[in-house]
Amino acid sequence: MDNFRKTDNAARKGAAIFCPCRQKTCLRVIVTLLLLAVCLTAVFSAAQNVYAEPAEIEGAKFVLLNDPGYLDFFSGNCIRNLEYVFEDGEGFARIMLAPMAMDPFIYMPISVIGEGINCDEYPYVAISVRSTYESGCNLYFGTSKEGGLDESKNLPSSNSITDKNDWETIVFHGKSNAKWTGLLTTARFDPYGAVPEGMEYIDIRWMAFVKNEKDLEKLDVSIKDLDQSEQFTRRPIYSTPNRTKPPENTFKPSVTSVVSDNTKTDRGFSPAVLITVTGILVLCIAVSAVGIIIFKRKGK
């Protein structure tokens, strides 16, 4: 009789532990935690990129350098290192240049644009840069109709980089060159003929391809300040033979991710915060699962 009672009590305890109601409650807790993790991930991702889009321009195409993964597509000459910087709620690329080096240039990552760029449809190129040294710039290009880089496929900038250490949009007028036609295959940004003394880096936030001149104003460009003449004055250093070909041993520098001291958490969230929150939620789910397993084993 005693053995029967013990068996009956054990059965009742097991039934209570494996009760469908308790199982449903545990399942609801796990599902709730998973949904919370997904929602928080979406919110943090949106906050991370909300300030990355420069402007809403119909038909325009952008290369937004708001993710460290884009640094893998950069290469060039006189580059010491590449850094991803998150500052004031947005991310951008910091190109560390070799001190006083000659002929610095950067191959822009246009390959990340899925459908490519039709030069005939996009006569304007804009690059958002920040620097402490002023200079006119050049954009060398290659197309599906004529590859390779040389002086005949060179777009001098319609405005200049200033030394204000503030974001500004540099514009290149593609139609100033008759060879700006076909699909764009290469875009090489030449910010300086030589790295100025004391200069350490130049920041690049995005690259835009725009159809209409009026849309440039949405990128904080004053059209009246642009030199739209067909004849451009090239600086003598831009005619040297060394600038007509890509480097034979173009390398990809090491990639470093940094967070600026000026980061303001009220305007965005760094990737580290997102990873931390996601990790905590995953840990909560794991603890809940372990708790359920322990309960079941105790009931046996």
Per residue in 224-277, pLDDT tens?
777 643 333 333 333 333 443 444 334 444 444 444 444 332 333 445 555 666
Sign of CA dihedral 158, 164, 98, 251: negative
pLDDT digits (tens, 9 = 90+) for 111-159: 888 788 999 999 999 999 999 999 999 999 999 999 889 999 999 999 9
- Which pLDDT does position 156 carry in this prediction? 95
Q: Which two tokens stand for residue 187?
A: 């875009």
Helix axes 20-49, 271-299, angle to 10 degrees: 170
Most confident range (mean pLDDT) of 97-111, 256-270, 283-297 is: 97-111
Q: How far apart are CA 42 and CA 25, in angstroms?
A: 26
pTM of the model: 0.64
pLDDT surpassing 70 at residue 25: no
Closest CA to 177 of 108, 234, 220: 234
pLDDT of 37 higher than 70: no
